[in-house]
């Protein structure tokens, strides 16, 4: 126990040293930069320059990017309690992250902010070399440290209920632990994660089945209550195998995957094209190419990680059944009776839907009243018959600065003030606003775009500021004026003659 105490003390000391290094790096690079944005007022109320909705990985990174660029009049809000931002300690149930451990994630170009720096400060390089994948709870510990090291003022327990236009600004209606009922801002950034512009996808076959008999993987599931029960998991992706493993490990009698596909997806196609070129160039591709990349990724489906799949299959109570699309489900005498498209009838006690999320801005309560005015991909592009995809068609068709576009010009001009920095941006701008590999590039891109817009909106005032600036650099005592002695020099007209 004494040695354990010394180890903990040493780890704390190493983290303190790393935090000092972070502060020194920021000081050397003059970050956060001094605020340069001109103040705005509306009816006597001070207007924020930006509000970030979401205090998880992406929201914290956006805060860091904006303040690094001298945009300081901002707030960052999250409806969850501190330490439960994002999916990591709620509905994410994998043992480890899929992403390779060496990815820099939200470090924003700072070595001291990487997961590797945080890990090695506590456990050393030898342990780092031995580490395979990052344990999921450890990633959340890293993000909590990231927030502490950068002193990010996330306001937890504050929910944004609606985003409403008010003149040239946006009024955000708040609920929860907020000190006020609403606030005004020039810009709003939805750093709201995987379901940021949609909701959990609930298949039509669920109908009016009682909630006591099913749950979506994004929900809080009482796995202990499944001990001795029969469980069916719909799907074959990462969330499917992770929830199947949880159910089996909590003593479920049997866990059956019902998988529509004939074969298990095995190749992550997006891994084959990841590069700085793809990240930088995707947004500028023609619509047909952007659609083609995304539709092919959807059609082939990202497979579950090998470790997660092995975790599920090492339980004798877990079964994988392919070609089992669902024809219908009904409640009969307290149990669910499932009919599949190939004629199978199966009884079970509980169903877990690993059916992912649908992207649908019209489902977002924050945008209630005008979400139907947002331009979607289906409004902009008609794909060939062999590339049709209804899910992809519902993605918002964004401007290159992450802002929403109007479906019809003039109907909702305030949409240009709302930034979609979440999964909903992927069809238009690529994987730069949610997945770990490209988020620093995405945050940098967003910060530059937002800074440019703030500056352009007040360009006349900035120009007047240049005119009014009167602080001299020279005081008048740096030189002495003298007359030219015309007797001592040749007349100018003869020079060179």
pLDDT tens sequence across 237-266: 999 999 999 999 999 999 999 999 999 999
Nearest Cα neighbor of 305 from 271, 276, 274 is 271
Dihedrals phi, psi of 175, to nearest 5 degrees: -145, 165
Distances (CA, A) of 230 to 32, 123, 292, 356: 54, 42, 40, 22
Tokens of 395: 């993605």
DSSP code of residue 90: T
pTM to 2 decimals?
A: 0.92
pLDDT tier, 2 (very low <50, low <70, confident <90, very high otherwise): very low
3-state helix, strand, coil in the chain (%, to 5): 40, 20, 40
In the predicted structure, residue 6 carries a pLDDT above the cut 70: no
Nearest Cα neighbor of 190 from 291, 56, 95, 296 is 56
Nearest Cα neighbor of 245 from 260, 236, 255, 258 is 255
Helix (H) or strand (E) holding 190: strand 182-190
How many angstroms separate the CA atoms of 260 and 205, rounded?
14
Strand partners for 353: 216, 234
Query: What are 439-466's pLDDT values in tens digits?
Result: 999 999 999 999 999 999 999 999 999 9
Q: Residue 345: its pLDDT value, please?
A: 96
pLDDT tier, 490 (very low <50, low <70, confident <90, very high otherwise): low
How many angstroms separate the CA atoms of 70 and 187, rounded?
15
How many angstroms separate the CA atoms of 274 and 295, rounded?
16
Going by C-beta distance under 8 Å and a sequence separation of 6 or more, which residues neighbour residue 490? none
Q: Within 10 Å of residue 30's Cβ, how many Cβ atoms?
A: 10
Query: What are 284-337's pLDDT values in tens digits?
Result: 999 999 999 999 999 999 999 999 999 999 999 999 999 999 999 999 999 999
Strand partners for 289: none
Radius of gyration of the chain measured on its C-alpha atoms: 28
Written as one string, the DSSP assignment of 473-489 is S--S-S-------TTTS
Buried b or exposed e, range 364-377, using 16+ CB within 10 angstroms: bebbeebbebbbbb
């Amino acid at each position: 126990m004494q040695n354990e105490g010394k180890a903990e003390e040493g780890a704390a000391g190493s983290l303190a040293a790393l935090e000092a290094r972070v502060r020194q790096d920021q000081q050397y690079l003059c970050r956060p930069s001094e605020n340069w944005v001109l103040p705005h007022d509306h009816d006597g109320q001070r207007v924020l320059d930006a509000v970030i909705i979401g205090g998880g990985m992406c929201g914290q990174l956006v805060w860091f990017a904006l303040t690094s660029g001298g945009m300081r009049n901002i707030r960052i809000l999250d409806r969850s309690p501190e330490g439960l931002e994002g999916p990591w300690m709620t509905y994410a149930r994998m043992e480890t992250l899929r992403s390779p451990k060496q990815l820099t994630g939200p470090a924003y170009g700072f070595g001291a902010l990487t997961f590797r720096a945080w890990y090695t400060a506590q456990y050393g390089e030898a342990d780092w070399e031995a580490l395979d994948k990052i344990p999921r709870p450890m990633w959340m510990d890293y993000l909590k440290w990231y927030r502490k090291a950068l002193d990010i003022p996330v306001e937890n327990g504050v929910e944004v209920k609606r985003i409403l236009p008010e003149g040239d600004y946006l009024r955000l209606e708040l609920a929860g632990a907020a000190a006020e009922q609403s606030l005004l801002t020039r810009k709003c950034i939805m750093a709201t994660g995987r379901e940021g512009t949609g909701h959990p996808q609930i298949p039509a076959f669920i109908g009016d089945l009682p909630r006591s008999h099913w749950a979506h993987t994004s929900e809080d599931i009482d796995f202990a209550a499944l001990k001795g029960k029969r469980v069916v998991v719909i799907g074959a992706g990462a969330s499917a195998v992770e929830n199947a493993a949880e159910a089996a490990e909590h003593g479920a009698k049997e866990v059956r995957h019902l998988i529509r596909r004939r074969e298990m997806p095995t190749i992550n196609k997006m891994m084959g094209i990841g590069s700085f070129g793809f990240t930088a160039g995707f947004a500028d591709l023609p619509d047909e190419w952007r659609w083609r990349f995304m539709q092919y990724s959807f059609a082939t489906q990202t497979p579950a990680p090998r470790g997660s799949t092995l975790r599920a299959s090492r339980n004798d109570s877990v079964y994988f059944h392919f070609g089992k699309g669902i024809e219908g489900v009904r409640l009969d005498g307290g149990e669910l009776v499932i009919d599949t498209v190939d004629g199978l009838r199966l009884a079970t006690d509980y169903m877990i839907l690993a059916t992912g999320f649908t992207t649908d801005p019209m489902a977002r309560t924050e945008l209630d009243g005008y979400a139907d005015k947002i331009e979607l991909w289906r409004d902009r592009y008609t794909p060939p018959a062999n590339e049709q995809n209804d899910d992809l068609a519902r993605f918002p068709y964004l401007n290159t600065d992450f802002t929403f576009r109007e479906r019809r010009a003039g109907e909702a001009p305030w949409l240009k003030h709302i930034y979609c920095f979440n999964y909903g941006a992927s069809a238009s701008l690529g994987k730069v606003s949610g997945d770990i590999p490209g988020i620093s590039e995405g945050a940098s891109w967003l910060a530059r775009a937002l800074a440019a817009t703030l500056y352009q909106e007040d360009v006349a005032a900035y120009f007047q500021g240049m005119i009014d600036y009167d602080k001299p650099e020279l005081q008048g005592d740096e030189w002495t004026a003298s007359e030219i002695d015309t007797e001592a020099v040749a007349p100018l007209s003869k020079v060179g003659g």
